[in-house]
A and B are shown apart, each in its own frame.
Chain A
């Protein structure tokens, strides 16, 4: 974990509300593991105090990139920042995905929308190439498909409105594939909570291991404020664990979805 001032190299609109940010972060980029995140202080935000967490998308030498959607004041202000401007970044943070060992499981990646970003490094560093299932509401929500194909991965796209790929839910396409019962597979997922729950259920049904990247309101990002907790099984009960430190990636069998309601 390193805190450093990073300089924006580029910050361009990818499509619709999605942007791609590249920063020079020599202290952070070389340390990044798949599924980890960076906690970013956007200085022009002023009276919005907290840092914003972003999954790290790609790493190249001393630079790293982030794929984000403008969903609030933080990301809107960020989207207006220009090359040469600076951000404060703490990273890499969190416990990420387990890269499969050589001749280990074949990964099936499941990405809801820009959840794709959190899975890219895993695809790049996995010795086995697998299948990426990516879903969104509309065509415009499907991002970085070509980048996964360029790694030699198969990409299966679903959109809820049928404007691109197969019409329907991502988890339906995943179910179809799982029914083939090809052995030696493992699931890795990032996306909205209902999707992650559904992936967890499918993993249980087909007796597969699944690693899920969970999302919860984050404060400090380094484990002290205890804002970002999720219920995780512990013995015959459960306890709150931090998505910023023990997570964001958890084994689906450990998540006590029903506990904290």
Chain B
């Protein structure tokens, strides 16, 4: 039985990864799960320098979901390399590093730094975080800027580039095509949805940042549709994500056209989810006599 898939030149032993920002830098989960069973570890978004992040409250739980406005708090490139890279480097599975910046030049510089580091599995370009004033989603909701960011990073590295798209666009196809044309090896679909919640007693927003990004099982059907649309528009592989908490959820993404998947918010409440999905995929393939996971990819039948 073959579960391995390719993201550009990177081979994953199975298609189950974790979503950036829901898995810290891997080490935090190492006491609870065997990280070497994952398809890849994907770390929280890193820009050149340290980032303090947004004031609290930063999260609010909503029906079947979570709204967050963390603000990409992080140690910056040097802090990450010093504190977390020695651990990640020693893992048997690849590390995908999620990067961002406030200018095209900063994206390229961060990409160059991680290219020079050696041993990185792939870079994921975060052009879609809804919770920061500059950078993030401004690059992911403008086709021209998106092409520039991907193109600038492409110039400085041969590492596989994965562009993480924003769901907050009228149609995802032109963005998917633009990233592909600018040299992206794969797409991550998708980041969180801009969202808001209000405390009706105080009439105050639930988040200090007022708005945030919605994640969790409540967004899954929307993500499935975006993956399906993007898969029809491009030839490069897609990593599908949005509310996965079971094997069935992951299979839906694969059938919609994703080559790999990422478990996100579920890591917060059930750290075993990704490993359970991997075991569940094997079982599903066995029961359905599927020898190669690739038989599932894009296998949804939309014609009657």
Give which listed residue, A1, A219, A230, A240, contacts B268 with CB less than 8 A: A219
A95 located at the interface, meaning its Cβ lies under 8 Å from any Cβ of chain B in the complex: no
Whether B268 contacts A224 by the Cβ 8 Å rule is yes
Whether B68 contacts A240 by the Cβ 8 Å rule is no
Given the known inter-chain contacts A1-B31, A240-B52, A260-B55, please indicate yes or no for A224 contacting B267, CB distance below 8 A: yes
User: What is the chain A residue whose CB lies nearest that of B245?
Assistant: A49
Nearest Cβ on chain A to B42's Cβ, whole angstroms: 12
Chain A residues near B68 (CB, 8 Å)?
A: 219, 225, 227
A223 located at the interface, meaning its Cβ lies under 8 Å from any Cβ of chain B in the complex: yes
Whether A223 contacts B272 by the Cβ 8 Å rule is no
Nearest Cβ on chain A to B268's Cβ, whole angstroms: 4
Given the known inter-chain contacts A229-B58, A240-B52, please indicate yes or no for A41 contacting B22, CB distance below 8 A: no
Given the known inter-chain contacts A3-B272, A229-B73, please indicate yes or no for A224 contacting B22, CB distance below 8 A: yes
Please report the C-alpha to C-alpha distance between residue A41 and residue B272 in the assembled complex, in whole angstroms.
Answer: 13
Please report the C-alpha to C-alpha distance between residue A22 and residue B63 in the assembled complex, in whole angstroms.
Answer: 29
Give which listed residue, A48, A49, A227, A239, contacts B70 with CB less than 8 A: A227
A216 located at the interface, meaning its Cβ lies under 8 Å from any Cβ of chain B in the complex: yes
Chain B residues near A223 (CB, 8 Å)?
A: 24, 28
Whether B32 contacts A240 by the Cβ 8 Å rule is no
A81 located at the interface, meaning its Cβ lies under 8 Å from any Cβ of chain B in the complex: no
Give which listed residue, B24, B32, B53, B217, contacts A49 with CB less than 8 A: B217
Given the known inter-chain contacts A49-B216, A49-B217, A225-B268, please indicate yes or no for A90 contacting B32, CB distance below 8 A: yes
Tally of contact residues, B, Cβ under 8 A: 35
B65 located at the interface, meaning its Cβ lies under 8 Å from any Cβ of chain A in the complex: yes
Whether A3 contacts B32 by the Cβ 8 Å rule is yes
Nearest Cβ on chain B to A237's Cβ, whole angstroms: 9
Tally of contact residues, A, Cβ under 8 A: 28
User: What is the chain B residue whose CB lies nearest that of A230?
Assistant: B56
B59 located at the interface, meaning its Cβ lies under 8 Å from any Cβ of chain A in the complex: yes
Interface 1/0 per residue, B253-284 and A, CB below 8 Å: 00000000000011111111000000000000
Please report the C-alpha to C-alpha distance between residue A202 and residue B269 in the assembled complex, in whole angstroms.
Answer: 38
Nearest Cβ on chain A to B160's Cβ, whole angstroms: 24
Given the known inter-chain contacts A1-B32, A49-B64, A240-B73, please indicate yes or no for A227 contacting B59, CB distance below 8 A: yes
Please report the C-alpha to C-alpha distance between residue A50 and residue B268 in the assembled complex, in whole angstroms.
Answer: 7
Within 8 A of B (CB), among A234-261: 239-240, 260-261
Within 8 A of B (CB), among A157-209: none
A82 located at the interface, meaning its Cβ lies under 8 Å from any Cβ of chain B in the complex: no
Give which listed residue, B57, B265, B269, contacts A217 with CB less than 8 A: B57
Whether A222 contacts B70 by the Cβ 8 Å rule is no
Seen from chain B, the residues whose Cβ lies within 8 Å of a Cβ on chain A are: 21-24, 28-29, 31-32, 44, 52-53, 55-61, 63-66, 68, 70, 73, 216-217, 265-272
Seen from chain A, the residues whose Cβ lies within 8 Å of a Cβ on chain B are: 1-3, 41, 47-51, 88, 90, 216-217, 219-220, 222-230, 239-240, 260-261
Question: Which 10 pairs, one residue from A and one from B, show the smallest C-beta to C-beta distance?
Answer: A224-B24, A227-B59, A220-B268, A47-B64, A223-B28, A217-B57, A1-B31, A224-B28, A227-B58, A226-B70
